Amino acid sequence: MTPRRLRLGAAFALAFSTIAVPAGSARAAAPPNVVVILADDLGFSDLGCYGGEIATPNLDRLAAGGLRFTQFYNTARCWPSRAALMTGYYAQQVNRDPAGSRPTWAALLPDLLRPAGYRSYHSGKWHVDGPVLEAGFLRSYSGDDSGDYFTPAFQRLDDKPLPRPKPEDGHYSTVAIASHAVEWLDGHHREHPGDPFFLYVAFTAPHFPLQALPEDIERYRGRYAEGWDVIRARRWARQRELGVYDGPLSPLDPTTVPSWNLAEEELKRRVGPGEVGRAVPWASLTAEQKAFQAAKMAIHAAMVDRMDREIGRILERLEAIGAKDDTLILFASDNGASAEQLIRSTGHDPAAPLGSAMTYLGVGPGWSTAANTPFRLHKYWTYEGGVSTPLIVHWPAGVKARGELRHTPGHLIDVAPTLMEVAGVTPPETWNGATRPAPPGRSLLPAFAQDAAVERPFLYFNHEGNRGLRVGDWKIVAPAPAAAEGRWQLYDLAKDRAEVHDLAARHPEKVREMADLWKRNDEEYRRQAATSPRPPRPGEPAR
């Protein structure tokens, strides 16, 4: 054991007491390495270990060697989820929903883990305010341009712009993100072998546009000709077999799509007659629409497949440097699958091969509904389809369980307190001279040991007027006021996580009680976000 790990052993022993420790392990009392992998717009059922048919053998192996959480939550959108993950606070508490600059007290994970000797590295999407290195990472590859997987316009290495790849360069963002993650692992192992590392890998896949390597698309060609109704039913059945979910299947919603989507007529004009802008029954589509939609889902599957393959490269490197057993790996998604259908970047060429750099398509609400099986709606909404994510936990040296499920609810706000407890770090009461509010997240370590409840008063949701609150198994949820119905609905998630049966009329007192709790905390979170504002950076408008 290195001298640094000896010094940290005593501080870590208490945090490790609830976790299985291999007998005779010389490193068991020191903080593990940490790898957090975040997908973008991945549906709850897209992975094989969560019921899907897409080939994800590497993530499936992580699940088989560790834990799967069945009721884990994000914030329904990319940047608020990243704020929650990196700070341990709801995005509203740190002024990141709507997107703004964090208060001075809102430290990120690299700074929170530094007292335990961690060196931090980042590769992939950032979408947090401020430069990456300023947040405490030592190395960073940032590719925030989700408009082009082959020739992205916005890439940065250690916060410095990189030239845009040419088509002949063979760039593909998912591969590039993994390659830099592997490079950071090699550099750490070579230069700091005695120190623990925190590696944050944030893939852009499978966020739109649907763009994938031709060989990956070929593996799924024709696979989805049965349509989203059949695939959805099959995933639901598989989830029940796996024990991931045992409840009703939500119905298709043919009316609710994001307000910024292209209109159906505009979609057909710019994309072609095969495009469909609503989650309607598959049987109602024309033959041309069925073929086009099946091809789109094949590309989505190819993007997920490639992400899993690249995760496999990272896992191979962890094993090669002797770090796999002593590394805590967490995998999640920033929100549910997306129903968004819009065209950005360089536009869409209907004559180009689907999935190529010249195309710009979204998977659309029909397949998004299937990806989010068995839940209702999509990214952006605070129904279960928008806020539910897989969570895979793998830590051979620290978690005794193999292939077990954890049904206790959790949230991305729990990642920071979990990692701090794993590291033996006491959360700071102040940061940058400002007092930090009590964090809302809870450590998940008790649930790592057994399927025990993680006690908390509630889980809060709010994104662009889409509201939600979960207390025990009760959940109130309401779409944005601009929607046709902005009133609170009430669901008993113990029986109805598909949110099919609204119980608000039967339990108005429960709705009032929970709505009042939501309002009080929403107001308090806004107040906290306004304390100790950070001065604007050069060139940034004052808030």
User: Which DSSP string corresponds to 169-214?
Assistant: G---HHHHHHHHHHHHHHHHHHH-TTS-EEEEEE--TTSSS----H
Residues 6+ apart with CB under 8 A from 203: 37, 38, 39, 40, 124, 125, 174, 177, 307, 310
Q: Count CB neighbours of 230 within 10 A.
A: 13
Decide: 261 and 378 in contact? Cβ < 8 Å: no
Give CA separation, 32 vs 65, 197, 323, in Å: 17, 8, 9
Beta-sheet pairing, 474-478 with 466-471? antiparallel
Among 49, 78, 171, 180, the active-site one is: 78
Q: Are 337 and 43 in contact (CB under 8 A)?
A: yes
The angle formed by the CA atoms of residues 192, 198 and 204, to the nearest 5 degrees, is 125
- Alpha-carbon distance 260 to 239, whole Å? 32
**Residues 6 or more apart whose Cβ sits within 8 Å of residue 405:** 67, 68, 69, 70, 243, 244, 451
DSSP 3-state percent helix, strand, coil across the chain (nearest 5): 35, 15, 50
Q: Identify the DSSP state of 529.
A: H
427 upstream amide cis, omega within 30 of 0: no
Cβ partners under 8 Å of residue 270, min gap 6: 262, 343, 348, 350
Is 78 labeled as catalytic in the residue annotation?
yes
In this structure, which amino acid lies at residue 473?
Answer: D
Nearest-angstrom CA–CA distance, 99 and 78: 11
Given the residues 122, 127, 188, 207, the one annotated as active site: 127
- 333 close to 390: Cβ distance less than 8 angstroms: yes
Q: How far is CA 360 from CA 16, 146, 325, 339, 357, in A?
A: 48, 11, 41, 14, 8
Which residue in 395, 490, 384, 518 sits closest to 71, CA to CA?
Answer: 384
CB 127 within 8 Å of CB 147 = no
**In 159-314, where do the E strands start and end?**
160-161, 197-202
Q: Which residues are catalytic?
A: 78, 127
